[in-house]
Structure 1
Amino acid sequence: MKVIGLVCAVLLAGAAAAQPAPEAVTSYGPDDAARRLLVRGTTDIARFENVLRLFTSRPDSPRIDYEQWGSNDLFDVTLAECRSGDRAADMVVSSAVDLQIKLANDGCARAHRSTATAGLPQVANWRDEVFGITRELAVIVYNRRLIAAAEVPRSRFDLIDLLRPEDSRFRGRIATYDIEASGLGYLFAFADAQQATTFGSLIEAFGRSGVVATCCSAEIIDGVADGTYLIAYNVLASYALARAEENPDIVAVAPDDYTLVLSRAALIPRHAAEPNLAGAFLDYMLSQAGRAALRSAHLIVTTEDAAMDSLSLPETPETSFRPIALTPSLLVGLDQHKRREFIALWRSTFPRQGDGEAPPE
């Protein structure tokens, strides 16, 4: 019996250790606030902090506990709470917008209607349950100290050309998201496959030249800043532009052929304890003051930002931009069969470590 008890204890401990957990937690607002709001998101605290501080600095404001999560773990914990009926977060904000649509489609979101949400474009409001709150670009990032202007890829065609020579200095020096580790990475890669005739040639060039698939936005841009990578592909401009404020050598390029445009998606879970307060926070983020705070964190990019030295936009950005609409079409990439096939294709390009062919990390 003691042995059985020990085995059970070990199994339970292992199960507990496997539970998803936030990467970081912080709180904003008065300690003695009458109400508390639990917000979980994939946005780095440093990028989201200004919005949280401003909302909780108003009279009679609540206290906000903000948990920063990886996108896949955030989906898993939100779905588990939805199914169990346990108290959930009051708001979930994720860059993996396809997973947000899936949560709503599975009945895990509450509707919220207001003047602010009614003003959203159709591509940023699905069923009054999933709302786009940012406007971010998927970009190519480089370090101007390490790459000459003539070498800078302005499109995917340019990137393929850079990798074509056997002696290319870019071999093993380009990084992108690992789509198995990053929900956002999977979303962008699958969107590329739907958008571009260049996708097959691009991933073939990636595989042949040892492009590194890794996580996450901040880590990849760190690598560009320190010279580990010469180029980062398909990463969020918000992180690159924030880094450029500290390091003016960092430059983000919105590709000329097309640029994916992401709106981070917010939803109020079905079992939220403070759904009305969560709705008020959502309305604040969509207000003029909230959007100004988001823009100051580079979470909203407009064509006016073309004047920034650290951002290169296409000559006709509004025709090159390809918004990722919040619609059920995003569920196509999450179909189990399609996902298995797509990840198998990805693995054939980026073998995982231990396969004997993985590029160095």
Structure 2
Amino acid sequence: MRRLAALALASLPLSAPAAELTASFGPEDAARQATVRSTTDIAALGPVIEAYLDTRPNTRILYEQWGSNDLYTLSAADCVAGQAGADLIISSALHHLVDLVNQGCAESYASNATRALPAQLVWRNQLWGVTREPAVMVYNRELLAPEDIPRSRFDLLDLLRPSGSRFAGRVATYDIEDSGLGFLLAFSDSLEATTFGGLMEAFGRSGAVATCCSAEIIDAVTAGRFMVAYNVLGSYALQRAREEERLGVVAPKDYTLVLARAAMIPHGAGSASVAGDLIDYLLSPAGRDELEAQDLIVRLGEEDGAPIEVSGAVETIERRIPLDPTLLVATDDDKREIFVHRWRDAFPQVE
């Protein structure tokens, strides 16, 4: 617990972090009540929670939407203080939750649903993968000719390589210091891709932009401020592309990272039984249908008319980010400092 104590003390701001948005679902006088803290937009997960509560009239869910870094900081501080501020945590920054579990901050839970999960989606009976979301590239259809659409990282490198490229300053990705998800995807790329070093160099040379959030990046590509965005979470991109013809979505054909948002019951959660029941629902056929309806489950190559472009055989391009100790490397202070320093060299405009 020593590392978490240091993290909690060092990273807590003068004023405690606050949720981005909050919502409540279910009757105010419900006999059972649970608090869910999540990085998932309320607009995406809210309908799933409402469907869960349709057959549970005596249950109320208080939902808090958080940025991934703030959620990690607050959860670590709660753990150090020996309290549970939430009954269930769901985050796309998988390395954060793996670290929390490793530090003894989670309750164990097992059911038929969790036992049926593949090994990549469960760790220590304390962490479970509940969604299926690819990391994609998005582009503005009005600004790119068909032959310029990047369908792989090699294609993106080719677009950025020429001196005076029209893509200079018009390519965006997550700021890995502001976004835990962005850090996870960049770290996973560094383990997976021979192109990682070349991409970092090309991003730096071409003035690529690092920014914070999925919605902000997608909005900017749609508006034409950026022509292409790299490593955007596909669930949000697909939702927007269904409504916006200008937005194109590509699953990179060299490989496509696929993550499952992880769920964790904090140690000492007062409504752990409700949290376990909600996890079971998310893993049930009914829950999977609801998650898929919100694009929180995406099956590459199997969508019915979904605006995502896939080149090549799906089984050869998918790279699952597993819930396992490998992700602890991403939370090691020394290795993180080296990685962030390398990233800053590519994005010197970020302070």
Is 1:340 matched with 2:332?
no
**CA positional deviation for 1:57:** 2.0
- Per-residue Cα deviation, 1:277-316 (whole angstroms, up to 9, x for no partner): 1000000000111111100111101135355351012321
Distance 2:93 2:306 in 1: 29
The one-letter amino acid of 1:339's match is R
In the alignment, is residue 211 of structure 1 matched against residue 211 of structure 2?
A: no
Inter-partner Cα distance in structure 1 for 2:77 and 2:120 = 27
SS of the residue aligned with 2:265?
A: strand
Determine the structure 1 residue equivalent to 2:161: 164
Amino acid at match of 1:280: D
In 2, Cα distance between equivalents of 1:343 and 1:17: 24
**Equivalent residues in 2 for 1:81-96, closer than 5 Å:** 81-96=78-93
Are the counterparts in 1 of residues 84 and 266 from structure 2 also a CA contact under 8 Å? no
1:269 to 255, 266, 281: 266
CA shift for structure 1 position 86? 2.3
Partner of 1:103: 100
The alignment partner of 2:302 has SS state of helix
**Per-residue Cα deviation, 1:121-143 (whole angstroms, up to 9, x for no partner):** 10000011000000100000012
Q: Distance in 2 between matches of 1:314 and 1:300?
A: 19
Partner Cα distance (2:202, 2:13) in 1: 42
2:26–2:59 CA contact under 8 A, matched in 1: yes
Q: Does the alignment pair 1:152 with 2:146? A: no
Distance in 2 (CA, whole Å) between partners of 1:306 and 1:291 is 14
Question: In structure 1, what is the Cα distance between the partners aligned to 2:31 and 2:21?
Answer: 24
Given that 1:305 and 1:311 are in contact with CA atoms closer than 8 Å, whether structure 2 keeps it comes out as no
On the 8 A contact 2:134/2:298 being kept in 1, the answer is yes
TM-score normalised to the size of structure 2? 0.94
2:207 pairs with 1:226: no
Instruction: Mark the structure with the bigger radius of gyration.
Output: 1
What letter is aligned with 1:232? Answer: A
Aligned equivalent of 1:255, options 229, 252, 256: 252
TM-score, with structure 1 as normaliser? 0.92
Structure 1 position 248, deviation (Å): 2.3
Aligned equivalent of 1:183: 180
Q: Which residue identity is paired with 2:18? A: A
After superposition, the C-alpha distances for 1:147-200 in whole angstroms (9 at most, x for unaligned) are 111100010000000001112111100110000000010010011111111111
Displacement of 1:16 in angstroms is 7.6
Q: After superposition, what is the alpha-carbon deviation per residue over 1:17-37, rounded to whole angstroms, capped at 9, x for unaligned?
A: 521110000011112211211
Matched, 1:280 2:294: no
What's the counterpart of residue 3 of structure 1? none
Q: Which amino acid aligns with 2:19?
A: P
CA distance in 2, matches of 1:115, 1:172: 50
Select which of 135, 139, 143 maps to 1:142: 139
The counterpart of 1:37, out of the listed 34, 41, 51, is 34
2:260 counterpart letter in structure 1: S
Show the counterpart of 2:170: 173
**1:109 alignment partner, SS class:** coil
Report the 3-state secondary structure (helix = DSSP H, G, I; strand = E; otherwise coil) of the residue aligned with 1:54: helix
Native 8 Å contact 2:218 2:237 kept in 1 = yes
Query: In structure 2, what residue type is equivalent to 1:77?
Result: L
Match of 2:130 in 1: 133
| Cα separation, 1, equivalents of 2:103 and 2:311 | 38
> What percent identity do the matched residue pairs reach?
51
Letter in 2 for 1:224: V
Return the offset for 1:218.
Answer: 0.7
- The alignment covers a number of residue pairs equal to 340
2:313 is the alignment partner of 1:316: yes
Gaps of 5+ in 1: 1-14, 355-361
Select between 248-257 and 15-24 the one with higher mean Cα deviation: 15-24
Alignment partner, residue 50 of structure 2: 53
The structural deviation recorded for 1:88 is 2.1
RMSD of aligned residue pairs (Cα, Å): 1.3
Amino acid at match of 1:268: I
C-alpha separation in 2, matches of 1:37 and 1:57: 16
* Unmatched segments (≥5 aa) in structure 2: 1-11
